[in-house]
Homo-oligomer: A and B are copies of this chain.
Amino acid sequence: MRTVRSTAIVGIVLGSDSDLPIMKSAAELLDEWNVPYELTVASAHRTPHRAIQYAATAKQRGLQILIAAAGGAAHLPGVMAALTPLPVIGVPIKTSKLDGLDSLLSIAQMPDGIPVATVAINSAKNAALLACRILGIFQPRIASKMEKYRAHLKKSVESKAKRLDLEGYKKYLKRLS
């Protein structure tokens, strides 16, 4: 499987390859749903020109949504949003210092004019799901995946509830651990 594809409609950009263990959940979901995407590393600080170029050419290369992940003074999502008219989803990565509060504020608190669609700290999966909600507006196939996914979420909770009811919480907990 190649991660950068000419047919990609979602571009996932990591500020650092150390974000990959977190961000792989986004890739996995897009893989599973057959949403063509590409995944690369481009730091707003260490490779600004690469990040700039990536964002500035994203639309003409056929991308429809960007997902950008970064931690600390997390500028990647905002800088990309400044250089593309596409929607940019920002994933604040938890750092070892301020618990991700710095990442969250650096991504969410964008000034008027340039929005970033911020998801929860480390929530790579929600970034992919948000991308799919967006794509689902005009791609019935993805909208239908989303309906199935939501039904699956529901069933999963319901079957847990049923099991918890049958077993009682003590047995349930023992099985969990």
Contacts and interface: CB of A to CB of B under 8 A. Distances in A.
6 contacts: A1-B170, A3-B169, A17-B172, A20-B164, A46-B82, A85-B147
A68 interface: no
B157 A50 contact: yes
Contacts of A117: 89, 117-119, 130
Contacts of A122: 97
Contacts of A97: 94, 99-100, 109, 120-122
Interface of A: 1-4, 15-17, 20-21, 24, 27, 39-50, 52, 64-65, 71-75, 78-79, 81-83, 85-89, 94-102, 104-123, 125-127, 129-130, 133-134, 136-138, 143, 146-147, 150, 153-154, 156-158, 160-161, 164-166, 168-170, 172-173, 176-177
A133 B39 CA distance: 21
A96 B109 CA distance: 12
Contacts of A133: 85-88, 115
Given A108-B73, A119-B110, A39 B82 contact: no
A127 to B, nearest CB: 7
A4 B169 CA distance: 10
B126 A113 contact: yes
B115 A109 contact: no
Contact of A1 (B98, B112, B119, B168): B168
